[in-house]
Amino acid sequence: MNTRYPFTAVVGMDDLRLALLLTAVSPAVGGVLVRGEKGTAKSTAVRALAELLPEVPVVAGCRFSCDPDSPDPGCPDGPHGNAPGTSRPARMVELPVGASEDRLVGALDIEKALAEGVKAFEPGLLAAAHRGILYVDEVNLLHDHLIDLLLDAAAMGASHVEREGVSVRHAARFLLVGTMNPEEGELRPQLLDRFGLTVEVAASRDPEQRVEVVRRRLAFEDDPAAFAARWADEETALRERIVTARKLLPRVTLGDAVLLQIAATCAAFEVDGMRADIVMARAATALAAWAGRTEVTSEDVRQAALLALPHRRRRSPFDAPGLDEDKLDETLEQFKGDEPDEDPEPDGPGDGGPGGGGPDGGGPDGGGIPPQGEGPDGPAPESAGAPEGTPAPQDAPQDAPQGSGAGERGAVKAGEPFRTKVLSVPGLGEGAAGRRSRARTEHGRTTGSTRPRGALTKLHLAATVRAAAPHQRARGRSGPGLVVRRDDLRQATREGREGNLVLFAVDASGSMAARQRMSAVKGAVLSLLLDAYQRRDKVGLVTFRGRDAEVALPPTSSVDAAAARLEKLPTGGRTPLSAGLLKAHDVLRVERLRDPSRRPLLVVVTDGRATGGGADPVALAARAARLHAAEGTASVVVDCETGPVRLGLAGALARELGGTAVTLDELRADSIAGLVRDVQAAGQTTQTAWRAA
């Protein structure tokens, strides 16, 4: 299907459409990150934006889309001189999640470079996206090193390719748009900060609006060309408004009073660095230009803050997104100075603005985006509001009595999280890039060389020279220089860190149900979840109490989903330890089939008191533990036993698992410096079995 869904036919989602249009008016804003649940038309809206951008003048034949009026003096296809110009539609280039570094930045022909001294460069996606849109769907699943390259290019406006002494640079200025589903994992705060604006989207809960969405989508699928034609006038008008706003943008002034409001707002919400201030200033300027004004107002600053600050104020993945709008209004009012009078019907693109009203309807007054509630299909209901933040957990119940026979209790609040010791899987893996366990990776320190399997990506120069040197006479080389053939090329092998699957098996029985103890246990698990987030792990949660165990959260990259399930975890009943271990075994078995390269780390949180699950619960638990040990699963038992008399049952369980036991106090990063060595040493004996499994 070549026809794209029209931008002006999108129902609701005012913030998303406004953010995309602002980046179209002012690419310096820095791009948009769209966060939302699946099936909310995130990708549809982004793809539709490309049709609104004006055509791009380019140098004929230039692979890097140089502007004929000001060609890049360092363009690899240049110098262009008086080369003829042409124009083409603005491109939207999609970056697949599984793309390689060479596909993103371009590839050099290493063999030709070594043998002939020629820079043979094949441009990548960054070059193709120059002066257009670079769209990354599921940006949170992209490898960290690709995100680093991507955001560096977006910030610098250029891409640099350095390969074994061969250097290529080309311009790479584009609108960066990423979409993500938070349930599949978060971006690191450093990377969140590199996106100029962020928008949270959710499906409308208004039945009438949902009906309108379905009606328009079905009409589009039945006849895409006819549907697009019905919205052609609105699309053309909105495209013209973008062009007009771009021309007005250089004339927009940012007064001192408005700058003070921007600075005060960023300071009030305690955002790090100065990027937020700069992005807010650019966004507010773009809002004024979009409204057809030449001066920025407090309302522009307020709207810019709602788009530029929410993702920058999150200190951890467990913080609820969004801003306190009452606090925002108080700050703006406190630092409000003299402002220009607003013209209710300004001249320019904001007057009767096009794009989104129906055949008889006009655009909005002022600086808002065109209301999408009307169009060729008739009026549609108002857009649903933004999703509410995560509600605070209810107060915990009174202390539950200890003992295996305690009844079910409500959820207990987690204690304050802390920095934990590094728990890692022993041996050398080959899993997804991360920050936990040692692994063979594409990036890291060079440890050796090997013959390339497929395309060469990381040349080991010394090994290549050593392989080619003995054959120079046979190849007719008698003087200086070196004849290098493909068989001589050697790929560098590198060692870095991988992300693992951290599966928590949490004892929620009556013996753990004392309020103070369970709060500490939840705080410890929350701390480990935060550590897993920072190390790019997948996490899963198995709980056991009463008569059985259950998978509270299947393995996922979303640690905030795991934290939410943990917060609501009830306690009480007997301790079916064997059932919990067997359920964890089933989860790991399925995950090995799904992702064989991702090695697991089992974290069992219990006091070790097996009191349920069969006639001899202790023996059954030991047998289930030995099942994990036989398959080489690295494991850690967090010993939650308290009191002056301790039975050491968690330590015995750890020995059966072939792992190690740590107490809650020892889990903290400032205690027992040898913890990591203990975990790795305990796992060495089971590494052979793991590889066989």
Q: Is residue 41 part of a domain?
A: no
- Which residue type, as a one-letter code, is found at position 141? L
User: 436, 466, 496: which is the final residue of a domain?
Assistant: 496
Q: Is residue 640 part of a domain?
A: yes
Residues 481 and 518 in one domain: no
**Model confidence over 264-276: pLDDT tens digits?**
999 999 888 888 9
Q: Kindly give, in sequence order, each residue whose CB lies less than 8 Å from that of residue 577, ignoring residues fewer than 6 positions away.
A: 507, 544, 606, 608, 609, 610, 612, 613, 617, 620, 621, 624, 653
Residues 475 and 374 in one domain: no
Q: What is the pLDDT of residue 305?
A: 94
CB crowding 51-72: b at 16 or more within 10 Å, else e: bbbeebebbeebbbbbbbeebb
Residues 361 and 467 in one domain: no
Q: Report the distance separating Cα 28 and Cα 275, nearest Å.
A: 12
Q: For the chain, which residues score pLDDT lower than 50?
A: 1, 342-368, 370-374, 377-408, 672-682, 684-693
Residues 530 and 651 in one domain: yes
User: 391, 410, 428: which is the final residue of a domain?
Assistant: 391
Bridge pairing between strands 56-59 and 85-88: antiparallel
- Which residue type, as a one-letter code, is found at position 168? V
Return the structure tokens found at 158: 């250029």
Q: What is the pLDDT of residue 3?
A: 82
Residue-number span of the structural domain to which 680 is assigned: 500-692
506: domain CATH number is 3.40.50.410
Rg of the chain in Å (alpha carbons): 29
Q: Is residue 568 part of a domain?
A: yes
Q: Is residue 177 part of a domain?
A: no
- Nearest Cα neighbor of 14 from 177, 149, 209 is 209
Residues 334 and 356 in one domain: yes
Return the structure tokens found at 221: 């699928």
Q: Is 28 exposed, middle or buried (0-12, 13-18, 19+ CB in 10 A)?
A: middle
Residues 547 and 584 in one domain: yes
Residues 483 and 516 in one domain: no
Residues 492 and 558 in one domain: no
Residues 519 and 593 in one domain: yes
Sheet holding 501-507, edge to edge: 548-556, 538-545, 501-507, 600-606, 634-639, 660-663
Q: What is the pLDDT of residue 32?
A: 92
Q: Is residue 668 part of a domain?
A: yes
Return the structure tokens found at 531: 């550590």
Q: What is the pLDDT of residue 287?
A: 96
Q: Report the distance separating Cα 610 and Cα 663, nearest Å.
A: 18
Q: Is residue 570 part of a domain?
A: yes
Looking at 4, 188, 275, 438, which residue is catalytic? 275
Q: What is the pLDDT of residue 272?
A: 82
**Model confidence over 528-572: pLDDT tens digits?**
888 888 788 889 999 998 888 999 889 988 887 888 888 888 878
Q: Is residue 327 part of a domain?
A: yes
Q: Is residue 466 part of a domain?
A: yes
Q: What is the pLDDT of residue 256?
A: 92
**Beta-strand runs (E) in 129-196:** 133-137, 158-163, 166-171, 175-180
HEC readout, 244-259: HHHHHHHHCECCHHHH
330: domain CATH number is 1.10.8.80
Residues 462 and 515 in one domain: no
Residues 679 and 557 in one domain: yes
The per-residue DSSP string of 351-394 comes to TT--SSS-TT----STTSPPPTT-STT---PPPPPPPPPPPPPP
Residues 487 and 561 in one domain: no
This prediction has a pTM of: 0.68
Q: Report the distance separating Cα 300 and Cα 367, nearest Å.
A: 8
131: annotated active-site residue: no
**Number of domains comprising the chain:** 3
Q: What is the pLDDT of residue 590?
A: 93
User: 373, 391, 409: which is the final residue of a domain?
Assistant: 391
